[in-house]
Amino acid sequence: MRSTGPDETLERAARRRGYSRVAGIDEVGRGPLAGPVTAAAVILDMARIPQGLNDSKKLSAPARNALSALIRESAEVGIAHATVAEIDSINILRASHLAMERAVAMLDPLPDFLLIDGNLVLRGLTIPAEAVIKGDTRSVSIAAASIVAKIARDRIMVDLAQQHPGYGWETNAGYPTKSHRLALQNLGATPHHRRSFKPVHNILYQDKSVNR
The CB density around residue 136, as the number of other CB atoms within 10 Å, is 28
The answer to whether 88 is annotated as binding is no
End-to-end Cα separation, the chain, in angstroms: 52
The answer to whether 27 is annotated as binding is yes
The answer to whether 45 is annotated as binding is no
Q: Is 14 helix (H, G, I), strand (E, B) or coil?
A: helix
| Composition of the chain by helix, strand, coil, percent to 5 | 45, 15, 35
SS3 for 141-191 is HHHHHHHHHHHHHHHHHHHHHHHCCCCCHHHHCCCCCHHHHHHHHHHCCCC
Residue 115: in which H helix or E strand, if any? strand 113-117
Nearest CA to 6 out of 154, 152, 132, 111 is that of 132
Rounded Cα distance, 100 and 116, in Å: 9
- The three-point CA angle 22-26-29 to 5° equals 165
Annotated binding site for a divalent metal cation: 26-27, 117
Annotated binding site: 26-27, 117
